[in-house]
Homo-oligomer: A and B are copies of this chain.
Amino acid sequence: MLITHIEHIGIAVKDLDSAITYYENVLGLKCYAIEEVADQKVKTAFFKVGDTKIELLESTDPEGPIGKFIEKKGEGIHHIAFNVPELEEAIKEVDESGIQLIDKKPRKGAEGMNIAFLHPKSTFGVLTEFCEKAD
């Protein structure tokens, strides 16, 4: 398994605009993109911090994963995403080691990346994502 860096940290928020104001005006970070990911029922805002991004996630549907997360746990850090150069290889390795996967095959995430999620039951409570840059 080769992980090069943390690609992003996903943070669930109720109101994207208010959260963007805090990250920009208080923390001094710059929102460089806003994108809706229909598949995951979220609107996202991206900030770069060193070689990692912060991805704020606002639910577009109470029944979507972020809507359910906020209802159950409140706003807060939702997942951590590791950059892997070879996603299919990484999925295979994790699967063979007995870790439960949410996605056994790559799918499309924000910013056009190929992604797959590991199940938090297998990863000490941390919803873990692998991301691979699309060619």
Contacts and interface: CB of A to CB of B under 8 A. Distances in A.
A25 to B, nearest CB: 7
A54 to B, nearest CB: 8
Contacts of A50: 4-6, 50-52, 83
Interface stretch (A33-41, A60-68, A106-114, A120-128): A120-128
Given A77-B126, A125-B74, A27 B1 contact: yes
A39 to B, nearest CB: 23
Main DSSP-derived SS at the A contact region: mixed
- Copies per complex of this chain: 2
A55 to B, nearest CB: 12
Contacts of A99: 22, 26
Contacts of A77: 77, 79-80, 125-126
Closest 8 CB pairs of A and B: A5-B50, A75-B125, A1-B28, A76-B125, A77-B77, A50-B51, A19-B124, A26-B97
Interface of A: 1-6, 9, 11-14, 18-19, 22, 25-29, 49-52, 73-77, 79-80, 82-83, 93-94, 97, 99, 120, 123-127
